[in-house]
Amino acid sequence: MFLGAALTDYLDGRLARSRGQVTRLGQLLDPIADKLLISAALISLVENQLAPAWAVVIIIGREFAVTGLRSIAAVEGVVISASKMGKFKMLAQVVTVALLIVSSVGGQPPVANFGKPFPAIEFWSVPELRMAWQHLVAGGPTTGNDWQVLLYTAGRAMLWLVVISACTSMYGYFSSFYRAMVNHKEAQPEPQKAQVRTT
């Protein structure tokens, strides 16, 4: 369902661009639809302990910041379109969420890790991952659970890429906003000052 929603959102934008039907309203609403889709998926992942809350807070916080920035720009008559880094972040988010959902077991992580949370960096310390990797590399029988552990680890690693690209693209949007506002103000004619004659 998630992949279907993401695919239709992508096809909608591509179809509008190919037919030359891109509107200012569409440029403003399309990113909002993306943010709603991703935010809902990420929050559900946190609820099911499939993703860490700190990463989701950073990603969703970035979405709110960029949306607010675009709203301010729209009030000033400036439209900030999606950047290449922003589109890459969206693609990375879709892949990450899909990996975490597919790898879950009954909506829960496929690793127990002795009751400890899945590490943010030291993935190799998880016993289930070491065993799954050993089965894959040694050419032994790789079970379905092994693949779930490997996919889950790939999803958690991709989450780092999403966080980094989110922060990078946010910086790019703020820079674009600053340049656009400076150019917008320079393009506006200065109000003429009334001349006062003295006798």
Between these two residues, 184 and 155, which has the higher pLDDT value? 155
Q: How far apart are CA 26 and CA 50, in angstroms?
A: 33
Structural tokens at position 172: 């790019």
User: What is the reported pLDDT for 10?
Assistant: 61
pLDDT at 138 over 90: no
User: What is the reported pLDDT for 199?
Assistant: 46
Q: Which amino acid is at 80?
A: I
Q: How far apart are CA 162 and CA 59, in angstroms?
A: 8
Q: How far apart are CA 16 and CA 158, in angstroms?
A: 30
Q: What proportion of the chain, given as a percentage, has pLDDT over 70?
A: 78
| 162: number of Cβ within 10 Å | 28
Structural tokens at position 77: 């008559």
| Bridge partner list, 105 | 108
User: What is the reported pLDDT for 61?
Assistant: 92
pLDDT at 120 over 70: yes
Calculate helix-pair angle for 84-102, 144-187, nearest 10 degrees: 160
State which of 127-131, 136-140, 157-161 shows the largest mean pLDDT.
Answer: 157-161
Q: How far apart are CA 138 and CA 198, in angstroms?
A: 96
Q: What proportion of the chain, given as a percentage, has pLDDT over 90?
A: 18
Helix boundaries (H) for 76-143? 84-102, 127-138
Between these two residues, 58 and 133, which has the higher pLDDT value? 58
User: What is the reported pLDDT for 26?
Assistant: 65
Structural tokens at position 106: 């009954």
Mean pLDDT for all residues in the chain: 80
Query: Which residues fall within 8 angstroms of residue 170, CB to CB, at 6 or more apart?
Result: 62, 65, 66
How large is the average pLDDT for residues 70-81? 76
Are 126 and 35 in contact by the 8 Å Cβ rule? The answer is no
Q: How far apart are CA 102 and CA 114, in angstroms?
A: 22
Q: How far apart are CA 60 and CA 55, in angstroms?
A: 9
pLDDT at 196 over 60: no
Calculate helix-pair angle for 24-47, 84-102, nearest 10 degrees: 30
State which of 7-11, 20-24, 72-76, 193-197 shows the largest mean pLDDT.
Answer: 72-76
